[in-house]
C-alpha cells in the first residue's frame, strides 16, 4: 500500500525505465516538508514537554505566560520548495479542477492543505500539534492560511475562504463549526472531490438515485434525431457553448431531455441528466442540485435537469433553487412543462419550446430500438409485423420511454425463447405509458372490443369517430395545423349522454381498447372539495397526469362538475362558476383523450358543447338491439335448445346494463343446477331485476302492443317509489 495515498501500489515498470513520478504525491511530499518546518518552529518556542501524554488537553501556568510568544504569522516560504514545486507542476486532475473552478495558485494550495490529512494519516497528528488540540486533526482556517504564507487577518486570506469564494461556492471546501473563532474552524474536502482527484469518478449515492444517465465522451449522438427536432437542437447547441441557464419547455412525454442531451453532445460536452424528485423537501432538493453542479464541474459536463415542475409552485422557493444554476460556469438545461415565470430568476434565460414527436417519428424510433444489436434478440425489427410497430407508435412516448419499452419487450421475448411479438410490444408500451394518477382516479385495463358494444348505427359511428380522431390527431392538428392559435391543445374530447345502462361507460372502455390505452375513471368524490380553489387544483392534477401517462380519461356522471353556470347571486355560486370557467379553458388546452358521460344532458353548461369534438346520444335500445344484447351478455353460458331470446327482447324494455345484470343472475342459477339456461331462468332473473328496481313486472306482447312512455320496465307500482 502506498504510504501517501493508501491505494495499491502500481505494478513495477520494466527494468531500465525509472518509475514515473506521481505529481499529487510529490506535491503532498512538499507540503509535508512545509508542515515539518512549522512543527519545528512551534517546538522551539513551546514551553511544554513534547512527550506529555496530556498535551493539548490543558494549558499549564507556564504555557499561559508564553502563549503570546508562540509563532502566529505566516510560514516563511522556502526557495528550494518553491523551485521543486515549479519542477513538479500541478497534477493533471488538480490542474483541471483549478481551471474549471477558477482557482488561483493560493486557492490550490489551500485545497491541498485541507486535503492532506485524508491522504496521509501522519499529517493528522502534526495538524493536531500545530492546532494545540489533539482532537483537531484537520487543518483549521488559521493553520491553512499560515501554511500557505498568508496572515490569518489578511484580506486576501479571508477572501479565499469566504462563502462566495471559488473554493466554498464551488463545493470544493467546507468550513465547519461556524460557532468557533474564525481561526479555529476546521476545513474539510468532500469525499467526492477527494475521489475525483485520485481518479475515481463514481457519483455519490444521493445523486446516483436521481441520475438518469451520464456521458463523459463528447461528440455527436450516434443515433439520428427526427427531422422535427434538428432545428431546436442546433439552436440549443449554440446556446450551451456559454455557461448559464437555458429553459426548454416540453410537453408531457416529449423529447425535451433528448434534445438537451443531443445539444450538449454537439457542443462537445459531456452530459449529466438528473431527474428532480417530486414533493421533496426544499433542503433535499437544494442538496441534490449542489451535488449535481459539483459533479458536472468536476467531470466537465453539461447539466440536464428534468421535471422542473418538481421545484414547486412557490416562486420564492423556485428562485432560491434556480439562482445557483445561473451563477456557476456550467451550461445547465432545465426541462419543464410550464411556461417560464419571470419571478423564478433575476436574469431571464433563453427559453425554447420543444416540438412533440409525430407518430411517424415514434415509429422510426421503435424500429431503431428494436433493431439495436445490444437488445439480446438479433434481427428483432425484421421479425415484428409492421402493423404492430404502427400500433405501438400511437402511444405518445418519449424517446427514453420507447427505449425502455423496447428493452422490456426484447427481454420478454428472450425469456419466452422466441421473437418479439405484437403482444410483447403492446404490453411494454402500455406499461411505459401507464402510471398512477394519484388518489383521484381508478385505472381500468380494457378487456372489451367493438363486438361487446351494441348500438344503433348513428351512435356507433360517432363512437368510432372518437377513436379515429385520437389516432390521426398528430396529422390533422399537428402537421396540418387545423386548430391554430389560442393555446389550444391537441386533445380529443367527447360527450356521451343518455339514460342509465345504455352503454356510455362501456363505449369509453371500447375506445381505450381500440387505442391500446388504459382507461382512467375519475373519482369525482375525491376531486370535488369544499374548500375554495381545491377542486380546480385537483382537476388540473388529473389533466396533467392524464397527459403524462397517455390514458383515456373518463368523467362518469360529469354533470357533477360540468354543470350550468348560474347568475352568481352569492359567493357559493361565484365559486361554482369559477370552477366551470376553469374547466372550459382547461378542456381546450388538454392534450389527451377525455370522455364525459351524463344522464342529465340538459344540466350541462351549453358552453361546453362547442369544446367537445364528438357529442353522441345513447338512446334506449330497440327490440333488435335488445336481442343482440341478450345474445352477447349470455356469452358462453350453456343454452337450452328452446331458448327464446326474441321473446325477451320484445317483451321487456330493458337497457343493456339491466340485461347484463339479468344474464349474470341467471348464470349463478345455472351454476347451482348444472343444466343449460332456459327461458324460464331468464324470466325469473328479469322478475328479480324488476323487484330490485321497485317496478311492476309486466311482459309486453303483440296483442297488448307497446305502451306509451318508458315501458313496463319503468312503470311504478301504485304508491311505490
User: Could you give the 3-state DSSP secondary structure of residue 576?
Assistant: helix
> What's the pLDDT band for 704 if we cut at 50, 70, 90?
very low
Q: What is the average pLDDT across 330-335?
A: 93
Q: CB of 113 within 8 A of CB of 93?
A: no
Distance from C-alpha of 659 to C-alpha of 634, rounded to nearest angstrom: 9
Which residues in 40-59 are b (16+ Cβ under 10 Å) and which e? eeeeeebebeeeeeebbeee
Helix segments in 393-456, DSSP class H:
399-416, 422-433
> What's the pLDDT band for 223 if we cut at 50, 70, 90?
low
The predicted pLDDT at position 375 comes to: 53
Distance from C-alpha of 166 to C-alpha of 173, rounded to nearest angstrom: 9
Euclidean distance between the first and the last CA atom of the chain, given in angstroms as a whole number: 91
- The pLDDT mean for the chain works out to 82
pLDDT in tens, 367-391: 888 887 555 444 455 567 788 888 8
The predicted pLDDT at position 540 comes to: 83
With residue 616 as reference, give the H or E element that holds it.
strand 614-617
Q: CB of 552 within 8 A of CB of 595?
A: yes
> What's the pLDDT band for 20 if we cut at 50, 70, 90?
very low
> What's the pLDDT band for 417 if we cut at 50, 70, 90?
confident
Q: Has residue 705 got a pLDDT over 60? A: no
With residue 587 as reference, give the H or E element that holds it.
helix 571-589
Treating both helix axes as pointing N-terminal to C-terminal, what angle do 105-119 and 122-131 enclose, rounded to 10 degrees? 110
Q: Are 359-432 and 623-714 in the same CATH fold?
A: yes
Q: Which residues pair with 304 in a beta bridge?
A: 273, 333
pLDDT in tens, 559-573: 777 766 665 555 556
CA dihedral 125, 129, 134, 137 (to 10 degrees): -50
Q: Name residues whose C-beta falls within 8 Å of residue 304's C-beta, 6 or more positions apart in sequence.
A: 257, 260, 261, 264, 271, 272, 273, 274, 332, 333, 335
> What's the pLDDT band for 541 if we cut at 50, 70, 90?
confident
> For the chain, give me the number of helices (H) and strands (E)?
30, 14
pLDDT in tens, 211-222: 987 776 554 444
Q: Has residue 363 got a pLDDT over 60? A: yes
Comparing CA positions, the residue from 201, 205, 164, 212 lying closest to residue 297 is: 201
The predicted pLDDT at position 616 comes to: 96
Comparing CA positions, the residue from 393, 397, 357 lying closest to residue 226 is: 357
The predicted pLDDT at position 524 comes to: 82
Q: What is the average pLDDT across 571-581?
A: 68
The predicted pLDDT at position 348 comes to: 86
10 Å CB burial of residue 102 (0-12, 13-18, 19+) is: middle
> What's the pLDDT band for 119 if we cut at 50, 70, 90?
very high
C-alpha pair distances (Å), 107 with each of 24, 95, 104: 16, 12, 5
pLDDT in tens, 654-667: 999 999 999 999 99
Distance from C-alpha of 649 to C-alpha of 299, rounded to nearest angstrom: 75
User: Could you give the 3-state DSSP secondary structure of residue 71?
Assistant: coil
Top pLDDT among 78 and 36 is at 36
The predicted pLDDT at position 62 comes to: 64
Instruction: Give the chain's length.
Output: 721
- Copy the grid coordinates of residue 332: 445547465
The predicted pLDDT at position 156 comes to: 81
The predicted pLDDT at position 267 comes to: 85
The predicted pLDDT at position 2 comes to: 37
Domain 623-714 class in CATH: mainly alpha
Strand-pair category, 441-444 with 244-249:
unpaired
pLDDT in tens, 174-207: 999 877 888 889 999 999 999 999 999 899 999 9
| Percentage above 90 pLDDT, the chain | 37
> What's the pLDDT band for 721 if we cut at 50, 70, 90?
very low
Write the CATH number of the domain with boundaries 450-617: 3.40.50.300
Fold of 205-353: Rossmann fold (3.40.50)
> What's the pLDDT band for 313 if we cut at 50, 70, 90?
confident
Q: What is the average pLDDT across 418-430?
A: 83
Which residue matches cell numbers 449542489? 290
The predicted pLDDT at position 512 comes to: 93
Q: Has residue 554 got a pLDDT over 90? A: yes
Domain boundaries, the chain: 23-197, 205-353, 359-432, 450-617, 623-714
Top pLDDT among 524 and 448 is at 448
> What's the pLDDT band for 710 if we cut at 50, 70, 90?
very low
Question: What is the value of pTM for the model shown?
Answer: 0.73
Q: CB of 335 within 8 A of CB of 244?
A: no
Q: CB of 140 within 8 A of CB of 131?
A: yes
Q: Which of 55-69, 84-98, 224-238, 450-464 has the lowest mean pLDDT?
A: 55-69
pLDDT in tens, 477-506: 877 888 876 667 888 999 999 999 999 999
Of 1.10.287, 3.20.20, 3.90.79, 1.10.8, the CATH number of 359-432 is 1.10.8
Listing from the earlier edge strand, what are the strands of the sheet with 270-275? 211-215, 270-275, 301-306, 331-336, 244-249, 350-353
Distance from C-alpha of 318 to C-alpha of 648, rounded to nearest angstrom: 65
Q: Has residue 111 got a pLDDT over 90? A: yes
Comparing CA positions, the residue from 255, 285, 258, 284 lying closest to residue 271 is: 258
Amino acid at each position: 500500500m502506498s504510504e501517501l495515498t493508501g491505494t495499491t501500489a502500481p505494478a513495477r515498470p520494466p527494468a531500465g525505465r525509472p518509475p514515473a513520478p506521481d505529481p499529487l504525491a510529490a506535491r503532498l511530499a512538499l507540503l509535508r516538508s512545509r508542515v515539518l518546518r512549522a512543527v519545528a518552529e512551534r517546538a522551539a518556542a513551546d514551553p511544554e514537554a513534547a512527550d506529555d501524554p496530556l498535551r493539548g488537553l490543558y494549558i499549564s501556568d507556564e504555557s499561559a505566560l508564553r502563549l503570546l510568544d508562540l509563532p502566529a504569522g505566516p510560514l516563511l516560504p522556502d526557495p528550494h520548495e518553491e523551485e521543486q514545486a515549479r519542477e513538479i507542476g500541478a497534477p493533471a486532475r488538480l490542474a483541471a479542477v483549478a481551471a474549471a473552478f477558477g482557482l488561483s495558485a493560493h486557492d490550490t494550495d489551500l485545497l491541498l492543505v485541507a486535503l492532506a490529512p485524508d491522504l496521509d494519516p501522519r499529517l493528522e497528528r502534526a495538524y493536531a500539534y500545530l492546532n494545540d488540540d489533539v482532537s483537531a486533526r484537520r487543518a483549521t482556517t488559521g493553520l491553512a492560511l499560515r501554511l500557505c504564507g498568508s496572515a490569518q487577518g489578511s484580506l486576501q486570506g479571508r477572501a479565499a475562504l469566504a462563502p462566495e469564494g471559488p473554493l466554498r461556492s464551488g463545493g470544493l471546501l467546507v468550513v465547519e463549526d461556524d460557532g468557533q473563532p474564525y481561526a479555529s474552524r476546521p476545513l474539510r474536502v468532500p469525499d467526492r472531490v477527494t475521489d475525483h482527484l485520485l481518479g475515481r469518478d463514481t457519483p455519490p449515492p444521493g445523486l446516483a438515485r436521481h441520475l438518469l444517465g451520464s456521458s463523459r465522451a463528447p461528440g455527436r449522438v450516434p443515433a439520428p434525431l427526427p427531422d422535427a427536432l434538428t432545428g431546436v437542437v442546433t439552436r440549443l447547441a449554440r446556446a450551451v457553448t456559454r455557461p448559464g441557464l437555458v429553459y426548454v419547455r416540453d410537453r408531457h412525454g416529449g423529447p425535451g431531455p433528448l434534445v438537451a442531451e443531443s445539444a450538449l453532445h454537439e457542443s462537445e460536452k459531456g452530459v449529466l441528466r438528473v431527474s428532480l424528485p417530486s414533493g421533496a423537501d426544499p433542503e433535499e432538493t437544494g442538496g441534490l442540485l449542489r451535488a449535481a453542479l459539483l459533479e458536472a464541474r468536476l467531470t466537465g459536463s453539461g447539466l440536464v435537469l428534468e421535471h422542473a415542475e418538481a421545484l414547486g409552485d412557490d416562486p420564492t422557493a423556485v428562485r432560491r433553487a434556480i439562482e445557483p444554476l445561473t451563477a456557476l460556469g456550467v451550461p445547465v438545461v432545465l426541462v419543464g412543462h410550464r411556461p417560464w415565470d419571470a419571478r423564478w430568476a433575476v436574469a431571464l434565460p433563453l427559453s425554447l419550446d420543444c416540438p412533440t414527436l409525430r407518430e411517424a417519428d415514434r415509429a422510426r424510433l421503435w424500429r431503431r430500438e428494436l433493431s439495436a444489436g445490444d437488445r439480446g434478440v438479433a434481427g428483432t425489427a425484421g421479425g415484428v409485423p409492421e402493423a404492430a410497430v404502427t400500433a405501438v407508435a400511437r402511444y405518445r412516448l418519449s424517446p427514453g420511454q420507447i427505449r425502455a419499452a423496447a428493452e422490456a419487450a426484447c427481454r420478454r421475448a428472450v425469456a419466452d425463447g422466441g421473437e418479439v411479438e405484437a403482444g410483447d410490444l403492446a404490453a411494454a408500451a402500455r406499461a411505459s405509458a401507464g402510471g398512477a394518477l394519484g388518489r383521484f382516479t381508478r385505472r381500468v385495463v380494457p378487456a372489451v372490443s367493438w363486438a361487446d358494444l351494441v348500438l344503433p348505427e348513428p351512435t356507433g359511428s360517432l363512437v368510432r369517430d372518437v377513436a379515429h380522431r385520437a389516432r390521426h390527431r398528430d396529422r390533422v392538428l399537428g402537421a396540418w395545423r387545423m386548430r391554430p392559435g389560442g393555446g389550444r391543445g391537441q386533445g380529443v374530447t367527447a360527450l356521451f349522454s343518455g339514460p342509465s345502462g345504455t352503454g356510455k361507460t362501456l363505449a369509453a372502455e371500447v375506445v381505450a381498447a381500440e387505442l391500446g390505452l388504459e382507461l382512467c375513471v375519475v373519482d369525482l368524490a375525491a376531486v370535488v372539495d369544499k374548500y375554495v380553489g381545491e377542486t380546480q387544483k385537483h382537476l388540473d392534477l388529473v389533466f396533467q397526469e392524464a397527459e403524462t401517462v397517455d390514458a383515456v380519461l373518463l368523467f362518469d356522471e360529469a354533470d357533477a362538475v360540468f354543470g350550468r353556470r348560474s347568475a352568481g347571486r352569492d359567493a357559493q355560486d361565484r365559486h361554482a362558476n369559477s370552477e366551470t370557467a376553469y374547466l372550459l379553458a382547461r378542456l381546450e388546452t388538454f392534450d389527451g383523450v377525455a370522455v364525459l358521460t351524463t344522464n342529465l344532458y340538459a344540466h350541462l353548461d351549453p358552453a361546453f358543447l362547442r369544446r367537445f369534438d364528438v357529442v353522441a346520444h345513447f338512446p334506449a335500445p330497440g327490440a333488435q338491439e335488445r336481442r343482440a344484447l341478450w345474445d352477447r351478455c349470455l356469452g358462453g353460458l350453456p343454452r337450452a335448445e328452446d331458448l327464446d331470446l326474441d321473446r325477451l327482447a320484445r317483451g321487456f324494455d330493458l337497457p343493456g346494463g339491466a340485461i347484463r345484470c339479468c344474464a349474470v343472475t341467471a348464470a349463478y342459477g345455472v351454476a347451482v343446477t348444472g343444466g343449460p339456461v332456459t327461458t324460464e331462468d331468464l324470466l325469473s332473473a328479469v322478475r328479480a331485476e324488476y323487484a330490485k328496481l321497485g317496478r311492476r313486472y309486466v311482459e309486453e306482447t303483440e296483442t297488448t302492443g307497446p305502451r306509451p312512455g318508458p315501458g313496463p320496465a319503468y312503470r311504478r307500482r301504485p304508491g311505490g317509489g
